[in-house]
Structure 1
C-alpha cells in the first residue's frame, strides 16, 4: 500500500517523491523509460565521455531555496555558460551584448553609447502581443532578422509573431560586454552528473522505483491513495479535449579525435543548417579527455514531448484540460508537461516544493 504513486522520475516527480518519503509517506515512482532523471539523464558514452542523452541541461537559479535543496544530493562544479551565434561568417556573443553590436554593425561603441544606438533602431508598439514585437522593441529589425527569426522558426516551426510574448521575453539584451548566457546567482553543474544526483535523491527506504513501466498498466494492481502525474496532461485524460501540441528534438551525437571541438560550449545556427545549435559536453562537465563529444539538435514535430508550444490558442486548449483537474481530489499535476508550461529546471523544482508544502498543509 502506497500513500502516493508518482508518475515520472524527472525533476518534478523525483523531488516530490523525496520530499514525501522524507515526511514519512510511502511512495512508488514509475517511469516508462529505463532510467531515472527524465530529460536531465546523463551517462558515459562508449568513449568514456559524460554526455546528456536528451540535450544539454545547464543548471542556473536565483533561488537560494532551490539551490540548497538540491545541494543535499550533489556537490557542485562552478560553471558559467557561454554561447556564440554563427551569423554572416562571424561567431558573435549570444545573448546580444555590446561586443555583438560592435562586431555586427562594424562600430566601436562604449557601453554608454550602446543604449542610444539601439534606441534609434527599436520599433515602438502601444502593446506587446507576441514574440516578434518583444524583440523588435528591444533591438530593431536588423538584429531580429539575423539572430531571432530563423532560429525561432527552426525551434518551434512557428515564426516569432505566432508565439506568445513570453517565449522571447526570456532572452536578455545587454548593453555591456557580459558574455555569460545566464546572470543567475547560482550557476553550477552537478559535480558527478545529474544521474548521480537523482540516485541519491531517490535512495530512501520509503521510495520504490519501477522503470520501463506504463503506470496505466499497473494502476489497477497497485494500491495507493493519491497520484502525482508529471507526464503530458492531455495523455492523462486520454485526449478527451484533443491533443495539446508539443515540440520534440532529435539529437545527433558525434565524437571527434580532438580535445576541443569549438571555442565555447554552444554555438547557435539561426540561419544555416537544419539544426539549431551544437553543444560540446566537456565544457559543461569539466571532464578531461583526449576526445570530445558534441550534439547537434534538430527540432521536430514527432517524438517525445519536450516543449509545450506557447501560443494563445494552445493556452486556451490547456485551460480546457485544467478545468478537468478540479474533478479529481486525489490527482495532482506537476512539471513542464503536467502543467503545460515552458519551465526551466529550477522552476520545476520550485513548483514541486510548493506542491509538496500544499499537500502537507491539508
Structure 2
C-alpha cells in the first residue's frame, strides 16, 4: 500500500515525491517516458556533449526558498543567459534594450533619450487585453513587427492580437544596457545537469519509480491512498469538455565539428526561417569540447504538450475541468499540465512546495 501514487516525474511530481517521502510517506511515482526529470531531462550525446532533450532549460528564480531547496540536490554553476535576435541583418540583444535601439537605428542615445524615443514610437492602448496591446503600448508598431509579431505567430500559430497579454508581458523592454535575458536574483545551472539533480532528489528509500508506465494500467492494480496527477487535466477526465490545446516543439539537433557555432547561448529568428531559435548547449553547461551541439526549434501543433495556449476560451475549458476536479478530493492536480498554466521551472517547484504544505496541514487536521 502506497500513501501516494504520483503521475509524472518532472519537477512537479519529483518535488512532491521527495518532500512526502521525507515525512515517512511511501511513494510510487510513474512516468510514461523511459527516464526521470520530465522535460528537464538532459544526457550526454555520442560526442560527450551534455544536451537537453526537450530544448534549453535555463534556471532562474527570485525565490531564495526554491533556490535553496534545489541546492540540496545539486551544486550550482552561475550562468546568466543572453539572447540575440536576428533582425534586419544584424544580431541585436533581446529583450530590447539601449544597445538594441542604438544598433538598429544607428544612434547613440542615452537611457533618458531612449525612453523618449520609445515613447514617441508607442501606440497607447487601453485596456491592455492582448499580447499585441502589451507591445504596441510600449514600443509601437515598427519594433513590434521586427521582434514580436513573426516570432509569436511561429511559436503559437496565432497572431499576438489573439493571445493573452501574459505572453509578451514575459519579455520586458529595457532602457539600459542590461543584456541578460533574465534579471532574477538567482541565475544558475545545476553543475552536473538536471538529470543528476533529479536522481538525488528521488534517491529516498521511500520512493519507488516505474518508468514506461501509463498510470491507467496500474491504477486499479496497485493499492494507494492518494493520487497526485501532473499530466494533462483534460486527459484525466477523458476530454469530457473537449481537448485543451497545446503547442509542441519539433527539436532538430546538430553536432558540428567546430568549437562554437554562435556568439551566445540562444539566437532568435523573429522574421526569418521556420524555426524560432537556435540554442548552443555548451554556453549553458560551461562544457569544454572541440565539437558543439546546437538545437533548432520548430513549433508545431502535434507532439508532446509543452505550452498551454493562453487564451480566454481555453481558460474557460480549463475552468470546467477544475470545477470537476473539486469532486475528486483524493486527487491533487498540479504542474503546467495539471493546472493548464505556462509556468517556469521555479514556479512549478514553488507550486509543489506549497501543495506539499497544504497536504501536510490537511493530514494534521485529520489526525486532530
Quickly name the TM-score band, shorter chain normalised: over 0.9
SS at match of 1:102: helix
Q: What 5-or-longer segments of structure 2 have no aligned partner?
A: 363-368
SS at match of 1:209: strand
* In structure 1, C-alpha distance between the alignment counterparts of 2:111 and 2:128, rounded to whole Å: 27
TM (normalized to structure 2)?
Answer: 0.98
Aligned to 1:50: 50
* In structure 2, C-alpha distance between the alignment counterparts of 1:67 and 1:332, rounded to whole Å: 24
SS at match of 2:135: helix
For residues 111-150 of structure 1, what are the structure 2 equivalents within 5 Å? 111-150=111-150
Say whether residues 1:2 and 2:2 are aligned partners: yes
| Displacement over 2 Å in runs of 4+ | none
* In structure 2, C-alpha distance between the alignment counterparts of 1:170 and 1:15, rounded to whole Å: 25
By how many angstroms is 1:126 displaced? 2.2
Aligned to 2:256: 256
Q: Deviations over 1:133-181 (max 9, x none)?
A: 0000111111000000000000000010000001111111000000000
By how many angstroms is 1:318 displaced? 0.5
SS at match of 1:267: strand
* In structure 1, C-alpha distance between the alignment counterparts of 2:190 and 2:159, rounded to whole Å: 35
Is contact 2:6–2:27 with CA below 8 Å preserved after alignment?
A: yes
* In structure 1, C-alpha distance between the alignment counterparts of 2:104 and 2:145, rounded to whole Å: 12
For residues 172-183 of structure 1, what are the structure 2 equivalents within 5 Å? 172-183=172-183
Is contact 2:49–2:289 with CA below 8 Å preserved after alignment?
A: yes
Aligned to 2:289: 289
By how many angstroms is 1:190 displaced? 0.2
* In structure 2, C-alpha distance between the alignment counterparts of 1:126 and 1:86, rounded to whole Å: 31
TM (normalized to structure 1)?
Answer: 1.00
Say whether residues 1:224 and 2:233 are aligned partners: no
Count of residues paired in the alignment: 362
Say whether residues 1:268 and 2:268 are aligned partners: yes
* In structure 1, C-alpha distance between the alignment counterparts of 2:200 and 2:152, rounded to whole Å: 37
Q: What 5-or-longer segments of structure 1 have no aligned partner?
A: none
For residues 171-250 of structure 1, what are the structure 2 equivalents within 5 Å? 171-250=171-250
Aligned to 2:169: 169
Is contact 2:124–2:138 with CA below 8 Å preserved after alignment?
A: no
SS at match of 1:361: helix
Aligned to 1:73: 73
